[in-house]
């Protein structure tokens, strides 16, 4: 059975004091949780401080983004090597907000995934369809195209370090959530795609998270589904009590 992974994406929220308080609170409240993995994704400026706040616990820290180049004249960007040097162990790649607001395409995200792996980071690749694509009956084909494009040229050993997050764009920050059955169905589609490309063993071991308005009231039902291996949580990860309930669901 795959070990559950609960990831908190703090996006562009909090200040330094609030980030440290949140991390410390989660460390305290989750000290006895040993049967699942927890990763926090604070804004870039808080990474080292949050890593310090959870040091010695089972909670790990990741970055919300990274640049595909290891170094260079890229003002305002951050490389995987820089992230690893301040305690990062994970990186989110291809979040729908990066795709929609910053125009990031699959080929570019493929480079980011490679950069994350080269820096020793474990990437979480986000895929998902918009509402109009689902309504048009294209949800599966859209997600399949994203998975194939982002993982083009990858080998089975690479895939062993990659986590997938299915996040229907219409359910992110909207209060709407895919039903557990809808989410489980798409997770099954993604797992089948991984199996076709990398083999059944890799597909079985790959963790596929659900992201999209996950909250304490729906986490238990989502995590009970066979194909769902955890959650990428947005707004509900900004409150200790909410995220703790989700982790324990």
In this predicted model, what pLDDT tens digit does every residue of 187-220 receive, in sequence order? 999 999 999 999 999 999 999 999 989 999 999 9
| Whole-number pLDDT of residue 172 | 79
Catalytic residues: 95, 167
Q: Which of 139, 86, 87, 83 is nearest to 112 (CA)?
A: 83
Length of the chain: 249
Task: Show the domain range for 226.
Answer: 4-248
| Residue 165, pLDDT above cutoff 80 | yes
Q: Is the dihedral of CA 176, 165, 185, 150 positive or negative?
A: positive
Q: The domain spanning residue 190 has which CATH number?
A: 3.20.20.70
- Overall domain count for the chain: 1
Average pLDDT, the chain: 96
Give the orientation angle of helix 139-150 with respect to helix 180-198, to 10 degrees.
40
| Residue 242, pLDDT above cutoff 80 | yes
Q: What is d(CA 105, CA 139) in angstroms, rounded to the nearest whole number?
A: 17
Q: Which of 113, 103, 174 is nearest to 147 (CA)?
A: 113
């Amino acid at each position: 059975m795959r070990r559950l992974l609960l990831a908190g994406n703090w996006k562009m929220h909090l200040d330094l004091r609030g980030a440290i308080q949140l991390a410390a609170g989660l460390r305290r409240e989750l000290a006895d949780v040993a049967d699942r993995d927890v990763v926090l994704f604070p804004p870039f400026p808080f990474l080292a401080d949050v890593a310090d706040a959870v040091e010695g616990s089972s909670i790990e820290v990741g970055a919300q983004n990274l640049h595909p180049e290891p170094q260079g004249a890229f003002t305002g960007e951050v490389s995987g090597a820089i992230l690893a040097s301040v305690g990062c162990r994970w990186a989110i790649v291809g979040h729908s907000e990066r795709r929609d607001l910053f125009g990031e395409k699959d080929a570019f995200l493929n480079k980011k995934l490679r950069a994350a792996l080269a820096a020793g980071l474990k990437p979480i690749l986000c895929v998902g369809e918009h509402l109009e694509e689902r309504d048009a009956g294209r949800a599966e084909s859209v997600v399949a195209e994203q998975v194939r494009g982002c993982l083009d040229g990858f080998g089975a050993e690479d895939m062993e370090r990659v986590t997938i997050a299915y996040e229907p764009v219409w359910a992110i920050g909207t209060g709407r959530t895919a039903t557990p059955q809808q989410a489980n169905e798409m997770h099954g589609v993604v797992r089948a795609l991984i199996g076709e490309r990398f083999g059944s063993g890799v597909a079985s071991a790959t963790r596929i998270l659900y992201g999209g308005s996950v909250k304490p009231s729906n986490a238990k039902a989502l995590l009970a589904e066979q194909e769902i291996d955890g959650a990428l949580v947005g707004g509900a990860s900004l409150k200790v009590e909410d995220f703790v309930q989700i982790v324990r669901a």
